[in-house]
Amino acid sequence: MEYFTLNNGTKMPAEGFGVFQIPDPVQCEEVVYNAIKTGYRLIDTAASYMNEEAVGKAVKRAIADGLVTREELFITTKIWVQDQENEETAYQAIRTSLKKLDMEYVDLILLHQAMKDYFAAYRGMEKAYREGLVKAIGVANFFPEVLTNLCETVEIMPAVNQIEMHPFFTQEKAIENMRRYNVVPQAWGPLDEGRHGIFTDPELTAIGSRYGKSAAQTALRWNVQRGVSIIPKSTHVERMEQNIDIWDFSLTDEEMKTVSAKDLGHSEIINHYDPDLVRVLDNMKIHG
């Protein structure tokens, strides 16, 4: 595994494991336990995924079984929009997440969306950071103009910005802007949630075959090779193993360009620029 050194000196694995859309607690606990057993050390959850308790149980079980220590793990969670009302609601949301995870700290906390009063919410994260409840703070789904405004205003620079990034939505300008502020780009949906035939794409398959790798491994390698952290998700151990087996080969400059040329220039998963979506997310409540 390779690591990124965040702008506060914290080390973060370049590849992690995401648990979006695994709400069943029994399944989520088993999946996370298997991910840790497979070798993943970064686990990415969120309050809105409704599975923080399951992640916490899996971590505790893995530690009890001697697979890993807490210090070897990097746990990320996120504050949902409903708790981005002000500094105190964000701060209390972090404490709620810690209680659900049954942890004294998380390694990274993110604002999940650039919505509600996210500047006030960010101050709540800064407070938690100063108290040692979180090792690093960052954001998710913050587009270049919004991230720029945040970075030019806040006291503590965000360490990570987690956005959608894969061969069909490369986000090169967003990455370039993050680098200016020393913010690590992290890709959610690095396999485009299976869209565009990514697992059987002829060009990705052809590139991968030169190294004994799959189209999916090619797509993942392309992202990390351009300095992007990735958090693929799978409930199948075989796929988990395959997704993490990307550290023994490198793509050529020409191969990197071939993958990048697939860019459509927009998301086909979610349109954050849609006012109707913003209204839905602004009013979406999660339990607890």
Distance CA 101, CA 88 (A): 20
Residue 181 is among the residues annotated as catalytic for this protein: no
| Class of residue 125 by CB neighbours under 10 A (exposed 0-12, middle 13-18, buried 19+) | buried
**Helix locations, 108-265, DSSP H:** 118-130, 144-151, 172-180, 202-209, 215-225, 237-244, 253-260
236 phi-psi bin (left φ>0, alpha ψ -120 to 50, beta other): beta
Q: Is the dihedral of CA 190, 192, 196, 200 positive or negative?
A: positive
Rg (CA), the chain: 18
CA angle 115, 119, 125 (to 5 degrees): 100
Helix, strand or coil, per DSSP, at residue 177? helix
- 33, 49, 91, 118: the catalytic one is 49
Residues in Cβ contact with 258 at an 8 Å cutoff, skipping those fewer than 6 apart:
203, 207
Distance CA 62, CA 54 (A): 12
Catalytic residues: 49
